[in-house]
Structure 1
């Protein structure tokens, strides 16, 4: 369908490049003039692994940050109301696009990074991030009200985190519903506009201490690095608003990482299990609620997972 304005179409398309659990892209968009309404799509929610919609709202928060960033590239300001209706839990945000100033260099760099950012599930260089790069990524998360706590290779708690990752994955592998949910969204038909095709799942790790998630359908195997930087993103609280904030902080951090040619991959299983999520928080002595665990490092540029078009994501308002 035709959108009201080409700029809105560009913004929606850029926003849809956001990362999401299993590349489910769990969002719906309505456009009415210069107003964009973002809704969570329950049909794309992982009902078993994410029964409360935490990861769904984190994904929508990442979409929201991309929309804000892409708007600035077109010299627009995104005036956002997050969770504006307490009686409509699927209404994530209302975005009013208004004329703004010419974007500065930092805003342009972030907006360009949207198209470059991609999850990398291949081995990274066996080294931690440079200190100044890590500080810039951490600062980006703080700007959105979250904390990014690095877990360096020499840190004793890192072993505890890796044990928890493997425990959560083992428990999920014994759960038929969890296996079926993963299978529905991974090793997907290359013609699909969502999910993760098998060639982008990456190889399985031959070394047990590799800081990488294991997928059932991973193709082949490889020796993964052991000295890349790991990080956990946390928020002060654990409400729906905190989950949206976590998504915005995650995407801001990832776009800054992309500017520095740093890639990320995620370990979500450990946070989908309430017990291992609690144990992770305790192992790292976190003040806030852990929302995302990831590894950060340097690698070749990964391919992008498929995405729906703006018209597939968007419905026009009858108003």
Structure 2
């Protein structure tokens, strides 16, 4: 195994804590000195629910933002080049690490938040976000070239959004290929380093209006909150570059959120169906492309989903390169 700088190892370990659809962790990394090359891993793409690779690249964008943030904790500055490479369609970004200034307080706080961030699929406190948290996470999205559109409980559009979420879930449940794909990545064995273990799926909501995704393998049921904040992340365009930007914005939002003790879970099915994705854009009067719908609120700190180690990520990249 090639020798990797210990600081780069720590950066990759932090980057691998990024959220990804069904915890597929669809990234591969190659390291040469202090140059990190990030590629999408098509073997971990959800072929039926994500045929374009949009969610795969959003996941890789979240990995990239964590890497940038962790680099600052190591007093390194990251020069990042994102897409495209016509001769390398899986290339997401290259990142060159150079000596930089000592991180400031905000940079350190964001880097520390990486280890605290995790998806929460349990009931939240029955209240919307406080204004200071909502303003901060909205700015985090804008810092990465995206927009975060809150959908508060009092809005008439909220009920229409949840109707679309349930419609998309029902349509997906009727498709055997999509059902099989979801079940392959959820309720996974405890010894797997990817996927979502059954105990982290959370219970099914007893109320159709509850702002939480329903998984086929959910165990039990519970009364979920009705008044947490929902938010839609959008980008000006809908190209692969926009998808990577959406992933970076998403992780910036989530890290800032956790500094305010705010957790998130996601409703991705409504954006995987072209019809409900279009309808969601219409219902919320969006000029931009919707990329991620999330539920934000206050809850206890849940357990982290499993992750591949940096050694496993590098090993897989070398295995792919040797083919």
TM-score class normalised by the smaller sequence: over 0.9
Q: How big is the shift at 1:2? A: 5.0
User: Equivalent residues in 2 for 1:68-217 (5 A)?
Assistant: 68-217=68-217
Which residue number in structure 1 is paired with residue 47 of structure 2?
47
Which residue number in structure 1 is paired with residue 243 of structure 2?
243
- Where in structure 1 are there 5+ consecutive unaligned residues? none
User: Equivalent residues in 2 for 1:298-313 (5 A)?
Assistant: 298-313=298-313
Stretches of 4+ moved more than 4 A in 1?
315-318
Matched position secondary structure for 1:247: helix
Which residue number in structure 2 is paired with residue 59 of structure 1?
59
- Distance in 1 separating the partners of 2:2 and 2:214: 41
Which residue number in structure 2 is paired with residue 13 of structure 1?
13
Q: Deviations over 1:72-131 (max 9, x none)?
A: 000000100001412322000001000000000000000000000000000000000001
Q: How big is the shift at 1:275? A: 0.1
Q: Deviations over 1:203-262 (max 9, x none)?
A: 000111100000011011100000000000000000000000000000000000011100
- Distance in 1 separating the partners of 2:104 and 2:29: 28
TM-align CA RMSD: 1.1
Q: Deviations over 1:19-60 (max 9, x none)?
A: 000000000000110100000000000000000000000000
Matched position secondary structure for 2:258: helix
Matched position secondary structure for 2:72: helix
Which residue number in structure 2 is paired with residue 258 of structure 1?
258
- Distance in 2 separating the partners of 1:77 and 1:247: 20
Q: How big is the shift at 1:180? A: 0.2
Q: Deviations over 1:290-310 (max 9, x none)?
A: 000000000000110000000
Matched position secondary structure for 2:287: coil
Q: How big is the shift at 1:287? A: 1.1
Which residue number in structure 1 is paired with residue 273 of structure 2?
273
Matched position secondary structure for 2:8: helix
Q: Give the count of matched residue pairs.
A: 318
Which residue number in structure 1 is paired with residue 23 of structure 2?
23
- Distance in 2 separating the partners of 1:285 and 1:259: 30
Question: 1:62 touches 1:251 (CA, 8 Å); kept in 2?
Answer: yes
Question: 1:148 touches 1:234 (CA, 8 Å); kept in 2?
Answer: yes
- Distance in 1 separating the partners of 2:27 and 2:250: 17
Matched position secondary structure for 2:291: strand
- Distance in 1 separating the partners of 2:4 and 2:127: 48
Query: Normalising to structure 1: TM-score of the pair?
Result: 0.98
- Where in structure 2 are there 5+ consecutive unaligned residues? none
- Distance in 1 separating the partners of 2:2 and 2:147: 40
Question: 1:75 touches 1:102 (CA, 8 Å); kept in 2?
Answer: yes
